[in-house]
Structure 1
């Protein structure tokens, strides 16, 4: 990301969503994107990728705590 277009984001947050300035500035960029309906972020890990990671990094008795 090259930067934020603050005037556009402020209009969307305060005019579009009706946020008060304090509420707008308290949001993280991820929270603001979520409120604005943007869903282009990273997707959650699927089962296939989890299985790949489990195979690559299996739990062992040495690393187990109990």
Structure 2
């Protein structure tokens, strides 16, 4: 019996080949850097969290006020 709207195939394996190609070739990461990254760090470096249109100057200024360093 199948669940509503789904199949029996289960979770897909992580796409290591794609991740390594992106990390080593496009981002030019050293292996020791690539293997130490967390998945959220890698996604951020790959542009996975980019917002359409980027971040506005006003948003940057608000963040600078909220998180001074």
TM-score by length of 1: 0.54
Cα offset for 1:26?
A: 0.4
User: 2:44 matched to which residue of 1?
Assistant: 34
Mark the runs of 5 or more structure 1 residues left unpaired by the alignment: 41-66
User: 1:16 matched to which residue of 2?
Assistant: 26
Q: How many equivalent residue pairs?
A: 40
User: Where do 4+ consecutive residues of structure 1 move more than 4 Å?
Assistant: none
Cα offset for 1:12?
A: 0.1
Q: Which has the higher contact order (CA 8 A, sep 6+)?
A: 1
Mark the runs of 5 or more structure 2 residues left unpaired by the alignment: 1-10, 51-69
Over aligned residue pairs, what C-alpha RMSD do you find? Answer: 1.8
